[in-house]
């Protein structure tokens, strides 16, 4: 008993397993594969290690396959014999997607707070929707925040003005805040504008280039 391998369970595994509502057998089998040195499916070895019935192992295995948490990949060993190995890519991909969702959720909360602080008032429902569309589907967050700074600098604390700015920048191929800064720097140099000219001194609602 003292020589038996201790299974390692990390926080990500437990959190993901709870979200997936895995049965005890599914949880144990997935844990077995995560800690296994050999990812071939050996029914006798698994049942002996987990102390559960063959039927329960097979049911759990099929359920994990159906949930796409594991897959079977064919490979060849050193003797050229084809063997099937278990891949846990589906499970790990699920963990990464959850982390990305949490990060996006946090970023959304942060960007709303930034807008609210810049506007110095609560956001209206239509403004929240505008920000969601921009940050989720259309633009990088840094350029959205750059457009926010541009609008506030010009005394326009509304999303309509910001939407116009983002439209004009996108039309010019400006995808990041750095692109915007370089664009105005080059424009200033080409037009021999003095260094005192700010990159923000521009009326986007009265843009002759549109």
Per-domain residue ranges of the chain: 11-87, 105-206
Distance of CA 94 to the CA centre of its chain: 11
Would 11-87 and 105-206 be classified into the same CATH topology?
A: yes
pLDDT in tens, 109-144: 688 899 999 999 999 999 999 998 888 778 888 899
DSSP letters spanning 71-123: EEEEEE-TTS-EEEEEE-HHHHHHHHHHHHHHHHHHHHHHHHHHHHHHHTSPP
Fold of 11-87: Arc Repressor Mutant, subunit A (1.10.10)
pLDDT in tens, 50-63: 999 999 999 999 99
pLDDT in tens, 13-56: 787 878 888 899 999 999 899 888 888 888 999 999 999 999 99
Mean residue pLDDT of the chain comes to 81
Q: How many CA atoms lie within 13 A of 197 on its CB side?
A: 13
Q: CA of 67: how far to CAs of 26, 53, 89, 91, 97, in Å?
A: 11, 21, 12, 9, 15
Question: For the purposes of burial, counting CB atoms within 10 Å of the CB of 91, is it exposed (0-12), middle (13-18) or buried (19 or more)?
Answer: buried
Q: Averaged over 177-183, what is the pLDDT?
A: 85
For residues 26 and 189, which has the higher predicted lDDT (pLDDT)? 26
Q: Averaged over 169-194, what is the pLDDT?
A: 78
The pLDDT of residue 128: 92
The pLDDT of residue 5: 59
The pLDDT of residue 209: 47
52, 28 Cβ separation under 8 angstroms: yes
| H helix and E strand count, the chain | 9, 2
CA 130/CA 186 separation, integer angstroms: 30
Class of domain 105-206: mainly alpha
Q: CA of 177: how far to CAs of 115, 144, 152, 159, 182, in Å?
A: 17, 9, 16, 18, 9
Question: For residue 166, what is the DSSP state?
Answer: H
20, 14 Cβ separation under 8 angstroms: no
């Amino acid at each position: 008993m003292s020589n038996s391998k201790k299974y390692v369970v990390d926080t990500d595994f437990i959190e993901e397993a709870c979200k997936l509502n895995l049965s005890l057998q599914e949880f144990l089998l997935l844990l077995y594969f995560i800690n296994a040195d050999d990812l071939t499916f050996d029914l006798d070895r698994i049942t002996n290690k987990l102390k559960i019935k063959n039927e329960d192992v097979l049911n759990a295995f099929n359920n994990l396959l159906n949930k796409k948490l594991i897959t079977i990949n064919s490979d060849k060993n050193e003797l050229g014999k084809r063997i099937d190995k278990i891949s846990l890519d589906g499970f790990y991909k699920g963990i990464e997607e959850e982390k990305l969702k949490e990060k996006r959720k946090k970023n959304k909360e942060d960007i709303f707070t930034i807008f609210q602080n810049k506007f110095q008032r609560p956001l209206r429902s239509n403004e929240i929707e505008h920000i969601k569309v921009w940050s989720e589907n259309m633009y990088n967050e840094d350029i959205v925040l750059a457009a926010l700074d541009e609008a506030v600098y010009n005394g326009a604390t509304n999303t309509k003005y910001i939407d116009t700015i983002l439209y004009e920048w996108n039309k010019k191929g400006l995808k990041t805040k750095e692109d915007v800064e370089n664009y105005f720097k080059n424009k200033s140099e080409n037009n021999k504008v003095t260094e005192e000219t700010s990159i923000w001194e521009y009326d986007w609602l009265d843009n002759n280039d549109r």
